[in-house]
Structure 1
Amino acid sequence: MNLIMLGLFSAFTSAETGVKPEPVYGVSVLDEQRIEFKVKSTGCTRARDFSLSYENRQIRLIRHQADKCRRKAYLKTIIVGLPELDHPFSLSNPFAAHSLEK
């Protein structure tokens, strides 16, 4: 199972920038201008630590600031603005299918 997850995660790493997309635990499109993500936090995660990239009809949530706090991990909801899109898109971030309660 670990090898499969590692393979999936590395498949989504951008070859151009070397930036790894943030694993997401949930996603919801709120309206035409905003999208909501559930991400892992250890106490210092803020929405401004993230941005969306958009290429080839795919969006990707990218974390720019690591969460270096030491609180027990929990899911944090962040809301990010969507670019103006005139067609369907897909999300290229890996989904974390496990809970943080381990």
Structure 2
Amino acid sequence: MNEPGRGRWSVPGGRVEPGEDDHAAVVRELFEETGLTVRPGRLVGTVTRAPYRIADYLCDTAPGSPTTPHPGDDADDARFVDRAAYDALPVVEGLTETLAGWSCLPRR
């Protein structure tokens, strides 16, 4: 992960490139950062981290996609976690509260 979150965990993300809509950006960014091909679902929420407006979507892996994520060049690791493993991770500031507010924390 690039600064300022280096050494902390977060969800994959990135910029919407010119000519892309949110869903196209989600598919591209998740592939670049995890090697997974996904199908974006509903918007679960937005948050503003000046100067960025961040929109997060629920996603399913696409048929035929690998099911184990692999980190891209801007991350040290990538993985799916349950709630116990999540609680042990050093996460970026505000992530737990944001995911809890959207009812998107991993299950116990």
So what's the TM-score if we normalise by structure 2? 0.30
Of Structure 1 and Structure 2, which has the larger fraction of its residues in helix?
A: 2
**Which of the pair has the greater relative contact order for Cα pairs under 8 Å at 6+ separation?**
1
Of Structure 1 and Structure 2, which has the larger fraction of its residues in strand?
A: 1
So what's the TM-score if we normalise by structure 1? 0.31
